Amino acid sequence: MTQINLKQINLNMIVRATGSYMSNMQKLSLRNQREQRERCCECPIRHRAVCTYCGPQELALLDAIKFYKTFQPGQEIAAAGESTEFLGSVIDGVVALSKTLPDGRRQTVGLMFPSDFIGRPLQPVAQYDAIAVTPVRLCLFDRPRFERILRDTPVLQNRLLEMTLDELDAARDWMLLLGRKTANEKIATFLSILARRAAALDNRAPDDGLVFALPLTREAIADYLGLTIETVSRQITALRKAGVIELEDARNVRVPDYAALLSVAREDGDGGMIA
């Protein structure tokens, strides 16, 4: 009887040891796979994100504090007036920034695309609601630790300044679009913005034949541009009939002649308005 019990005990010990060994091996394998997928040097937004100018030493500092988080369409990323414990970059997807007035009216004030930076260093309170428009994946940093690194890393400071100035230019262009452009020009401008951002992800300039996805519904586009849904649909149809764009399906747009799209939008190649 004693021998049987000893055998059972030994067998149980072997099973537990083997299970523990396999569990550790599986964890190691998963960790290695995660590291291979998420190495900074292979990041799809590496050439445009806040870490663009970082060398190996700076990247190692950021890598030690980064984490990833995904959001589904409609999910809140940040709420206006509330403190955020993180900031970081959009890797995949589109985020809408919006403001809600006291009477309940909501206005979309901006869209964030891959490589855009979410959050404001040294200002933990969010100024706008940030909502995922599509499935979104973010590369995030713990706020206090990122701000400490930022204070001692000039290349990060320089890149954030560049991105802030680009955002300021975009806001001024958007004021012009909302205040002076016709419905046709608004839709063409919106499509040209999407085309430029899609090309930038591939680290190239937009050109003829570029295909990109519409991240917003017709209703959301109307809200963003200050138009009605009917007007948005009518103007997209007009651009398609004029040969300025082609609709591969309900969500994907092809631009056969990028210069023609800019002409309708009354923009030059850099996004500025043609006099």
Same domain, yes or no: 125 and 198: no
Residue 242's domain spans which residues? 181-265
pLDDT above 90: residue 32: no
Same domain, yes or no: 151 and 189: no
Q: Which of 134, 137, 141, 101 is nearest to 119 (CA)?
A: 141
Q: Is residue 207 part of a domain?
A: yes
In this predicted structure, what is the pLDDT of residue 4? 45
> Exposed (0-12), middle (13-18) or buried (19+): which is 35, by Cβ within 10 Å?
exposed
Tell me the average pLDDT of the chain: 85
Same domain, yes or no: 150 and 188: no
CATH code: domain of residue 78: 2.60.120.10
Q: How far is CA 120 from CA 52, 83, 102, 128, 146, in A?
A: 18, 11, 24, 11, 11
**Residue % of the chain over a pLDDT of 70:** 83
Which ranges of the chain does DSSP label H, i.e. alpha helix? 2-37, 56-63, 143-151, 154-180, 183-201, 218-225, 229-241, 258-265
Q: How far apart are CA 123 and CA 83, in angstroms?
A: 9
Same domain, yes or no: 151 and 48: yes
CB 50 within 8 A of CB 118: no
Q: How far is CA 106 from CA 102, 112, 128, in A?
A: 9, 17, 11
Number of neighbours of residue 64 by Cβ within 10 angstroms: 10
Q: What is the pLDDT of residues 189-236, one digit of tens each?
A: 999 999 999 998 888 889 999 999 998 889 989 988 989 999 999 999
Q: Is residue 64 part of a domain?
A: yes
**Residue % of the chain over a pLDDT of 90:** 64
Backbone angles phi, psi at 267, to 5 degrees: -125, 155
Tokens found for residue 271 = 């996004």
In this predicted structure, what is the pLDDT of residue 251? 87
Q: What is the pLDDT of residues 158-196, one digit of tens each?
A: 999 999 999 999 889 888 888 889 999 999 999 999 999
Same domain, yes or no: 121 and 188: no
Total number of domains in the chain: 2
pTM of the model: 0.79
Q: Is residue 32 part of a domain?
A: no
**Which amino acid is located at 80 in the chain?**
A
